[in-house]
Structure 1
Amino acid sequence: MEQLKKGRRLILFPLPFQGHINPMLELANILHLKGFSITIIQSNFNSLNPSCHPHFIFHSIDIGLAESGTSTKDPLLLLSRLNANSREPFQECLATLLSDVSKEPVGCLITDSVYDFAQSVAESLKLPRILLRTGSASSFAIYTAFPLLREKGYLPKQDSRLEEEVTGLSPLKVKDLPIINSDGPERFFNLIADLEIQTKTSDGLILNTFEDLEEHALATIRQVYPIPVFSLGPFHKCYPANCSLTSSSLLAQDQSCISWLNTQAPKSVIYVSFGSIAAIKETQFLEIAWGLANSKMPFLWVIRPGLVHGSDWLEALPSGFLETSTLNVKGHIVKWAPQKEVLAHQAVAVFWTHNGWNSTLESICEGVPMICMPCSSDQMMNARYVSDVWKVGLQLQHGVERVNIENTIRRLMVEKEGEEIKNRVLRLMQKANFCLKQGGSSYRSLDALIKHILSFK
């Protein structure tokens, strides 16, 4: 029995952004329910409230990064600052935790894959480190092809080639390649090269996906990286629906949208949300507003403060739009929604999304077809897979214009094409449910992960 208890304390270190925090906390919940005690090191930037997660132990580190220091429009520069500022306080905190002999031994460290210093810190403290990749397996696997893509001239992207299909990677187009925009393109390629080294020298890789969804990409990853790879998603479906685990949302969730959904007919509502970071132009915002209103379909629209460039919240809406009878009857606007609960609601028929990986996976798991409007990075590739590989959604092919929006909504909600898409996403949903059952691929992968962690000495 003592042998089984040893190493059942784990330390997790999430990247402080909503799309990265959610899967890390979900993984923490999974491992906690399997008997591990969980300690979370978090920075004082975008920190969670520990009282909302009483089953975990939290330790906060001061990374000296004020809100003003995160206002840069260059996400790679922000990541660089996060890495530079986090290393020393993280190492000090981790060393202190490991030296506490009153606590049970630590089995391993699990960090976000984007931290570029965590591997060397773990090695210096003789602590095994497993990476969590919070994006899709497909976008991670494509990084292995970057040297060849650069050699062939596909990267850096050129405006004249954006619509060109990438040879050997059909149906991907140049515009779909997962690039983070930066003032210095080489900075991104250096980040990817470093990520490859970090991954190869780690003690394992965890992905929030499942074999039936991304079998080819997972096979590529296992071929390239000589480490154990665990695909045990979808994370948020790995624990019982009635489990009283609290939300990891950094924004206050408006529950009024659930009450509103309760008044709507089954499979009648368009749910619109572009995630926690994406920003759009005012012209796009106006077209979305009129496209939704003109569709005459009920819609639940998440308009996050800061979503629209130059606008705090709803100021950019057309004059009189909020007072129109169409909106009063058909629409409901909130600042933030409990997304998993919304997608699982019987009234929701379609999800108009930016195709962040969490949102894409959550939509598949509830059998909800998607309208794809990717904004940056791996969202472009996720959207291409949704529309052209899995064929469970449609892209706005001809731009964000009200007529195109109306036509796309009609194709999904009225025409035969929409029925076929709905049937395909329902089949994927069934596969997602099956993989978590005893004998399923994610069930077996979780079992293998637990055995792997317990094997560390």
Structure 2
Amino acid sequence: MINIQFPITSKVSEMDITTTNGGVWKRHVAVFAFPFASHPPLLLSLVQRLASAAPTVVFSFFNTRKSNRALFSELSCDNIRPYDVSDGIPEDYAFVGKPQEDINLFLAVAEEEFRRGVKVAEEDIGLRINCLVVDAFIWFSSQMAEDLNIPWVSFWTAGACSLSAHFYTDLIREKGAQLKGNSVGPDKEVVDLIPGFSTIRLGDLPGGVLFGNLESPFSTMLHNMGRTLDKATVVAINSFQELDTDLTKNLSSKFNNFLNIGPFHLISKQKPTSIFDEFSCSSWLDSQKPRSVAYISFGTICRLLPDEIVALAETLEETKIPFLWSLKNDIMKLLPDGFLERTTANGLGKVVSWAPQIQVLEHFAISVFVTHGGWNSVLESIGAGVPMICRPFLGDQQMNTWMVERVWGIGVRIEGGKFTKEGTRSALEHILSLNDSSKKLKERIETLKELAHEAVGPNGSSNQNFMTLVDVVTNATL
């Protein structure tokens, strides 16, 4: 069922819709969120930018109740209205631990829920929907846009590299079938597998493209998404075109409008004083030497194996490399006995359950980011000019890691795909040394940092692309 956040009003003339601040709403945009991980806040960040740039457009934001509560608890915007749709979880349902169980339940009801929600929002606001802005995962909304004869904007929250893998899935599977016939495994590096890539390691393709359960609801969703994207009025991504010029050129030739409009974190940047720093990470970093500290974080979902936590901790202590480690409380018990007490007492390190990541990465003391290679983390590291050591787990993280190490040359993958004492020491030494290889790596990421900041500037490519998107949403180009 749809849970309405606002009272239903009687339908009025579409030429006479008055806003709560006395203005007039001229257009109505429906926004469909994929209510998992970092997808909703990124989509909302985009919608906030659009709402600010187009104050006469009202945006109906459709998302699950749980996700909406988290997003809108402290947000108030006159022309963004949240609506709840069902998460598909039956009452008294008991989860049994199946892979992506919650996602599958949502996908089973999503299309019907969004269609019903649109009807309710149209009645509530008194304006027909004029445009759809959706998370790219909500691929089936393409048909809704076609039925309504309105623009369809598909937003990909990650980079051009993983988007290309999903767009070219059929081509990859066709070539992959030939390679598998020759007993080629995931470690094989293949030339010209994907347009825009000179080489790619098969095992670094996102799960569900060539390996894994290709028939799962999630894999099927991604496959259908890739097949549908060329119908979009706009495909927008959270990146900047100077990062991937070849991929941008290729995808621009395939899509009606392919727009790099990020990095988002550089656009909606908070002032340092407004960022909550519960564990005083910044003050601790202030006491460290410039470019001396390793910052370690693997996001909110990924978890290291117990032996990896021990290997990483012991290596940090033995090498005496200062560190700031964001580690959930329930995992801290896996650290070696006495590690926290020793490293706290001698000032070598600080372990916290949460850190303000962007603020930390931008601190002068940070020398390297040890990360899972999630797209947001990669962009934030580039934006701060901090090289990376990547330990990927799932999704697009393997492909992002390939780009970090082999294409952009701004970091390394942990040897063997998991932390060992030898591999961790080698990676840290490679990044932190003063040899020519390390210097070139740091020069490359500093160059990308400058390009990222230029892209979001007044005359930058991402800013210009965003204005094109605003024109589409406000009907200026249609």
- Whether TM exceeds 0.5 here: the answer is yes
Give the deviation of 1:241 after TM superposition: 4.5
CA contact (8 A) 1:74 1:183 kept: no
Are positions 1:177 and 2:177 aligned together?
no
Kept after mapping to 1: 8 A contact 2:295/2:368: yes
- Give SS of 1:412's match: helix
Corresponding position of 1:58: 82
- Look up the equivalent residue of 1:376 and give its one-letter code: L
Q: Does 1:219 align with 2:249?
A: yes
- 2:371 corresponds to 1:318: no
Which residue of structure 1 aligns with residue 135 of structure 2?
A: 112
Q: Secondary structure at the match of 2:415?
A: coil
In the aligned structure 1, how far is the partner of 2:266 from the partner of 2:299?
Answer: 20
Alignment of structure 1 residues 259-278 onto 2, 5 Å: 259-278=283-302
Alignment-derived partner of residue 470 in structure 2: 450
Q: Does 1:361 align with 2:384?
A: no
Instruction: Look up the equivalent residue of 2:447 and give its one-letter code.
Output: R
1:178–1:377: 8 Å Cα contact kept in structure 2? yes
For 1:40 and 1:363, the matched residues in 2 are separated by 30
Aligned residue for 1:375?
393
Once the two structures are superposed, what CA deviation does each residue of 1:33-67 show, in whole Å capped at 9, x if it has no partner? 31345442220244424232122432222324389
1:345-401 CA distance string (max 9 Å, x none):
222211111111111111101111111111112111110111111101111124411
Q: Give the direction of change, closer, same or farther, for the CA distance of 1:101–1:319 in structure 2 (3 Å limit).
A: closer
| Structure-1-length-normalised TM-score | 0.86
1:303 corresponds to = 327
Q: 1:239 Cα deviation (Å)? A: 3.9
1:34–1:177 Cα change, 3 Å: same
Give the match for residue 284 of structure 1: 308
Q: Which residue of 2 aligns with 1:74?
A: 99
- What is the rounded CA distance, in whole Å, between the counterparts of 1:255 and 1:11 in structure 2? 39
Match of 2:227 among 197, 201, 212: 197
Q: Is the counterpart of residue 345 in structure 1 residue 345 in structure 2?
A: no
Contact 1:65 1:85 in 2 (8 A): no
SS at match of 1:205: strand
Q: SS where residue 74 of structure 1 aligns?
A: coil
AA aligned to 1:256 is: S
Residue equivalent to 2:61: 40
The aligned residue for residue 20 of structure 2 is none
Q: Distance in 2 between matches of 1:415 and 1:326?
A: 28
1:191-240, Cα deviation, whole Å (9 max, x unpaired): 34311333233322111111110121122222223x22211111222246
Alpha carbons 2:169, 2:223 under 8 Å: kept:
no
Q: 1:54 to 1:207 in 2, by over 3 A?
A: same
Amino acid at match of 2:107: N
Match of 2:460 among 440, 450, 456: 440
- CA pair 353-243 structure 1, distance change in 2 beyond 3 A: closer
Higher relative contact order (CA 8 A, sep 6+): 1
d(CA) in 2 for partners of 1:38, 1:435: 26
User: Are residues 1:94 and 2:124 paired?
Assistant: no
Q: 1:262 and 1:154 mapped to 2: Cα distance?
A: 54
Per mean C-alpha deviation after superposition, the further-off stretch among 158-167 and 107-116 is: 158-167
User: Which residue in the other structure is 2:158 paired with?
Assistant: 135
Deviation at 1:9, TM superposition (A): 4.6
Going from structure 1 to structure 2, the CA distance change for 1:6 and 1:265 (only over 3 Å counts) comes to same
CA distance in 1, matches of 2:446, 2:179: 37
Structure 2 match to 1:309: none
Unaligned runs of 5+ in 2: 1-14, 17-22
| Aligned-partner residue type, residue 151 of structure 1 | E
The question of whether the paired residues in 1 share the 8 Å contact of 2:118 and 2:129 is answered with: no
- CA distance in 1 between counterparts of 2:200 and 2:184 reads 16
Q: Give per-residue Cα distances to partners, 1:268-310, cap 9 Å, x unaligned.
A: 21111111221332122221221222231111111136xxxxx
Among candidates 251, 260, 266, match of residue 231 of structure 1: 260
Return the alpha-carbon distance in structure 2 between the equivalents of residues 155 and 299 of structure 1: 46
Structure 1 residue aligned with 2:10: none
Instruction: Kindly state the Cα deviation for residue 107 of structure 1 after the two structures are TM-superposed.
Output: 4.3
Letter in 2 for 1:128: P
**1:135–1:70 Cα change, 3 Å:** farther
Deviation readout 1:85-115 (Å, 9 max, x if unpaired): 333333222211122355x665422111112
Q: 1:340 to 1:161 in 2, by over 3 A?
A: same
Larger Rg computed on CA atoms: 2
Is 1:165 paired with 2:179? no
Please report how far the alpha carbon of residue 328 of structure 1 lies from its aligned counterpart in structure 2 after TM superposition: 5.1
Could you tell me how far 1:254 is from its partner in structure 2?
Answer: 3.9
Q: Shift of the alpha carbon at 1:427?
A: 0.5
Aligned-pair distance for 1:84? 1.2
Q: 2:468 corresponds to which letter in structure 1? A: A
Q: Give the whole-Å Cα distance in 2 for the aligned partners of 1:374 and 1:155.
A: 27
Aligned-partner SS, 1:52: coil
Change in CA separation of 1:327 and 1:368 when aligned onto 2, cut-off 3 Å: farther
* In 1, Cα distance between equivalents of 2:315 and 2:93: 35
Distance 1:263 1:243 in 2: 18
Find the aligned partners of 1:143 and 1:274 in 2 and give their Cα distance.
Answer: 24
1:173 deviation in Å? 1.0
Contact 2:361 2:380 survives alignment (8 Å)? yes
1:150 is the counterpart of 2:143: no
CA distance in 1, matches of 2:234, 2:71: 29
Distance verdict in 2 for CA 1:367–1:304, change over 3 Å = same
Distance 1:263 1:65, change over 3 A: farther
Identity %: 28
Q: TM-score if structure 2 supplies the norm length?
A: 0.83
Question: Are residues 293 and 156 of structure 1, via their aligned partners in 2, closer, same or farther at CA, if it must alter by over 3 Å?
Answer: farther
Kept in 1: contact 2:88–2:106 (CA 8 A): no
SS at match of 2:244: helix
Give the 3 Å change call, closer, same or farther, for CA 200–325 of structure 1 in structure 2. closer
